[in-house]
């Protein structure tokens, strides 16, 4: 374990937490970092997938070469091939100059394919060929170019389920998941809440030259009782905002402005939603019957899920079924809301 601590200080100091799951994930990265095997990192949005990918790169023999992150969900479908593999001058309208593409930009280093589950099937087939043959052919080029790139992919989606549904190629999934690594949600990390909060405050106060701030007990309790759909990223942002707006050196519960506060709930309709067809053409949203909370509901996680279901119902009703607007009301990313709808409809 002392070996892991030394490695962590050198290559992964920004990854905070001591929960069993986080320590095991770090040890996995430590053991495979200095190899060329592909790594598939799964976990909810904001759980730290890119931090682990960067740690794998820094601890590898490729550390002197580039680490190139690519958000696959942000790539326009018509330009995916040119973005990933490059293009020659004049390959298509608007291609005034040649472009290397992300694979060649990462030559000798690591290519981080974030949100890999959002790639369309046509792009998956081309990506698989590149991974198998270790060559790319820029759009409009007459010949292939050899590549030497380590692949780390990540997604918040359930790729195994997507393989079963036919939206992800099985051969690509197996090629990417040589070393699978799942990161836990923040709500499942126990005392890591306090570690992350305290370190975030220390770093924020050091950067701004402010006196060290602390949290009132009620604020710390509120942090522990909230489900944190945005995980570590959301927690860090909330703490930093609260520290900036607090009137003294102590952060109170009100400074946190958590989405489940009365001011947030007041924006949502109190009427339950039955079946809504979205304005975005993404199909019907199944009715989600939330259990009623009473004195017998003592399990914290079940109680939080019940509240979460009711809030989602009300947000969808308020937004007339528009998932993007409902996600904004709830303070979530749209993809996070969609995943929660799938979970509760299962």
Could you read off the pLDDT tens digit of each residue along the chain, which spans 346 residues?
Answer: 689 999 999 999 999 999 999 999 999 999 999 999 999 999 999 999 999 999 999 999 999 999 999 999 999 888 898 899 988 887 677 777 888 899 999 999 999 999 999 999 999 999 999 999 999 988 888 888 999 999 999 999 999 999 999 999 999 999 999 999 999 999 999 889 999 999 989 988 888 888 889 999 999 999 988 989 999 999 999 998 898 888 888 999 999 988 654 334 333 434 444 434 444 444 444 444 445 555 555 566 667 777 888 888 888 888 777 787 787 788 776 777 877 887 777 5
269 with 318: CB under 8 angstroms? yes
Q: How many CA atoms lie within 13 A of 85 on its CB side?
A: 26
Pick the CATH number of 265-345 from 1.10.10.10, 3.40.190.80, 3.10.100.10, 1.10.10.60: 1.10.10.60
Per-residue DSSP letter, 271: S
pTM attached to this predicted model: 0.73
CB atoms near residue 203 (< 10 Å):
14
Q: How far apart are CA 11 and CA 9, in angstroms?
A: 6
Burial of 214 (0-12, 13-18, 19+ CB in 10 A): middle
Gap between the Cα atoms of 77 and 9, Å rounded = 40
Burial class (CB in 10 A: 0-12, 13-18, 19+), 346: exposed
Homologous superfamily, domain 2-184: P-loop containing nucleotide triphosphate hydrolases (3.40.50.300)
- Which residues belong to CATH 3.40.50.300 in the chain? 2-184
- Judge contact between 274 and 266, C-beta under 8 A: no
CATH class of 187-256: mainly alpha
Query: Could you give the residue range(s) of every CATH 1.10.10.60 domain in the chain?
Result: 265-345
Q: Note whether 114 and 48 are within 8 A (CB).
A: no
Question: For residue 274, what are the contacts with CB-CB under 8 A and spacing of at least 6?
Answer: 287
57 neighbors 67 (Cβ within 8 angstroms): yes
Spatial contact of 119 and 76, defined as CB atoms under 8 Å apart: no
Structure tokens at 132: 């198998």
Question: Cβ(94)–Cβ(50) under 8 Å?
Answer: no
**Looking at residue 309, what is its pLDDT?**
85
Is residue 329 within 8 A of residue 315, CB to CB? The reply is yes
Per-position b or e across 23-50, b if 16+ CB within 10 A of its CB: eebbebbbebbeeeebbbbbbbbbbbbb
């Amino acid at each position: 374990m002392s070996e892991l601590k030394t490695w962590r200080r050198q290559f992964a100091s920004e990854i905070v937490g001591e929960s069993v799951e986080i320590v095991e994930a770090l040890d996995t990265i430590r053991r495979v970092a200095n190899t060329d095997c592909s790594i598939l990192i799964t976990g909810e949005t904001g759980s730290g997938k890119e931090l682990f990918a960067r740690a794998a790169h820094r601890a590898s023999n490729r550390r002197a070469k580039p680490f190139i992150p690519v958000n696959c969900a942000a790539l326009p479908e018509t330009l995916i091939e040119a973005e990933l593999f490059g293009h020659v001058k004049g390959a298509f309208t608007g291609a005034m100059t040649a472009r290397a593409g992300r694979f060649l930009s990462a030559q000798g280093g690591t290519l981080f394919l974030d949100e890999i589950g959002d790639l369309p099937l046509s792009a998956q087939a081309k990506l698989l060929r590149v991974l198998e043959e270790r060559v790319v052919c820029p759009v409009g080029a007459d010949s292939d170019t050899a590549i030497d790139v380590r692949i780390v992919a990540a997604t918040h989606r359930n790729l195994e389920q997507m393989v079963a549904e036919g939206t992800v190629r099985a051969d690509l999934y197996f090629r990417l998941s040589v070393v699978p690594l799942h990161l836990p949600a923040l709500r499942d990390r126990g005392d890591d809440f306090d570690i992350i909060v305290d370190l975030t405050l220390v770093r924020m106060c050091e950067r701004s030259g402010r006196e060290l701030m602390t949290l009132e007990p009620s604020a710390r309790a509120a942090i522990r009782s909230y489900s944190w759909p945005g995980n570590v990223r959301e927690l860090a942002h909330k703490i930093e905002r609260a520290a900036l707006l607090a009137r003294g050196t102590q952060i109170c519960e009100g400074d946190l402005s958590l989405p489940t506060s009365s001011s947030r709930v007041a924006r949502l309709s109190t009427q339950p939603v039955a079946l809504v067809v979205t304005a975005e053409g993404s199909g019907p949203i199944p009715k989600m019957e939330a259990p009623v909370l009473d004195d017998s509901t003592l399990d914290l996680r079940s109680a939080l899920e019940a509240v979460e279901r009711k809030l989602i119902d009300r947000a969808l009703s308020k937004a007339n079924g528009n998932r993007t607007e409902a996600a904004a009301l709830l303070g979530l990313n749209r993809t996070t809301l969609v995943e929660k709808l799938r979970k509760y409809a299962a």
